[in-house]
Structure 1
């Protein structure tokens, strides 16, 4: 992948702004992500009807986001203080949770899109669909994604010791001796973790939108179709905003780190854009709860109903206290 602009002596730039960018991004994401995903899990688990479609996938999506959000304070500490006093295990665990959240989110967004599309367009074929099927699919997703994400911390653990003060973006990438193997590994990761889900979500969105203009299914309510379209469209929006820039950059980033790409302009552009793409990928922890609220009518109803109950309870307690004083 060399060209006339390549140089064997090209020095990679020092991306010093990444510390401020990551610290700011994770601080902004932490509080809304913690509150929104905690509330989403509580409402989804306790109040939404068992008949609601995709609820199991949404619960797993919220759990994946919450796991990543809970690791953000350690990331914020590191990027503010530029030192890691918490040991090798916690460093690799937090690093692992970042990618586990990303690819679990991609898989569950894909599952939500497929289920909403298929249940809408083929209601009679899925009338006997059981909740345990969603549980089994979710378990498979966690096992598959959990195993598939192991190379990410392993590729960064070569120079990491218990006494190391470096973590996250400052960890070096393990070099793979065979360039062909390196390219094939990255291409496989991109196809399975990005291209496949991207095609699936776009297809589900297109077919669901197309169904709104058809009248072949008189038993399907128009409002139901619109809710399904909002849900798959929101899945597509989260996917494009959070994960597409990262995965476009990811291929070049890995090729730069493995010294497969030696062109100075490409190397510098890739390294400069990496912090921005990685920061965008963390925003899914705040955007996913919007998916639950704006696309699930039961979520809106139960959340507003419970909020009203809490407000009424507080007003009554204040009235009781004032009457006692009188």
Structure 2
């Protein structure tokens, strides 16, 4: 078995993460600017997408350190700085999965229950949900970082995957939280997709009049792809001890896919529009 040593450069992953950073930074920065300047934040859909773009930018700013480590095989900072950088990555997985689920639920309510959900689908409720999400994630990340910072490091290099040997960290019950939460959120997205597809195909009289049904379904299909390709594999790997770099790299790709959600969610995304479809 070929094990990764603590001082072995990995130029392939340095290039891959560099490409993700080079693509994800402008895509999300421009998307955030457009959402804030050209689309009304009175729409809950826009609120969730703004927070999703912020989540992706937090991931992107952690990638330069990964590029450096994989290119040189050396971590020049403290172990606490490594934990904080790692926390940014896994916070993105958690926050992105939550905000994407919010978007799916919001689209479900807009299409299937447009009238009955009016009092729920407000920007105020959306901001409350987003704020509560960030608060929980912040508390969780700080508590995990503080706990791990008090433990002796397993190696002297950041981002080195652990192998199944005596030096590998033991799996705790907390490690099962991520795959369980991601699986539950994936199930919610599957249900939302099925209900919206059934509504659009059955032409129910009380459903919303959707101008572009293809774009609506593309949003749900893209959500499911991001979950199954980016989120679920890396979450499951947390309890398999093998912290596979390929899965981590694949998970980081979500910051490049999320901007497609913004494009498919709004007609004339690049143009200023007062009334967003299905808002």
Do they fold alike, i.e. is TM over 0.5? yes
Q: 1:209-257 deviations in whole A, cap 9, x for unaligned?
A: 111111222662242544332222221121122112222333222xxxx
Give the one of 189, 192, 204 matched to 1:204.
Answer: 192
Using a 3 Å threshold, how does the CA distance of structure 1 residues 240 and 30 change in structure 2: closer, same or farther?
Answer: same
Give the one of 69, 93, 99 matched to 2:84.
Answer: 93
Q: 1:268-305 deviations in whole A, cap 9, x for unaligned?
A: xx46xx111111000011111111123322424349xx
Larger helix fraction of residues: 1
The ranges of structure 1 where at least 4 consecutive aligned residues each deviate by more than 6 angstroms after the TM superposition are none
Using a 3 Å threshold, how does the CA distance of structure 1 residues 75 and 187 change in structure 2: closer, same or farther?
Answer: closer
1:296 corresponds to which residue? 266
Asked whether the equivalents of residues 120 and 225 of structure 1 are also in contact (C-alpha less than 8 Å), the reply is no
> Equivalents in 1 of 2:267, 2:216: separation in Å?
11
> Equivalents in 2 of 1:18, 1:110: separation in Å?
37
1:36 corresponds to which residue? 27
Q: Which runs of 5+ in 2 are unaligned?
A: 274-279
2:175 corresponds to which residue? 186
1:6 corresponds to which residue? none
Asked whether the equivalents of residues 155 and 174 of structure 1 are also in contact (C-alpha less than 8 Å), the reply is no
Structure 1 length normalisation: TM-score? 0.73
Count of residue pairs the alignment pairs up: 265
Asked whether the equivalents of residues 67 and 97 of structure 1 are also in contact (C-alpha less than 8 Å), the reply is yes
1:230 corresponds to which residue? 218
Using a 3 Å threshold, how does the CA distance of structure 1 residues 173 and 82 change in structure 2: closer, same or farther?
Answer: same
2:69 corresponds to which residue? 78
Q: 1:160-199 deviations in whole A, cap 9, x for unaligned?
A: 49xx8521226876446xxxxx2x333333212x111010
C-alpha RMSD of the superposition = 2.7
> Equivalents in 1 of 2:94, 2:9: separation in Å?
23
Using a 3 Å threshold, how does the CA distance of structure 1 residues 208 and 18 change in structure 2: closer, same or farther?
Answer: farther
1:56 corresponds to which residue? 47
Asked whether the equivalents of residues 44 and 122 of structure 2 are also in contact (C-alpha less than 8 Å), the reply is no
Structure 2 length normalisation: TM-score? 0.84
Q: SS of 1:220's equivalent?
A: coil
Shift of 1:43: 0.4
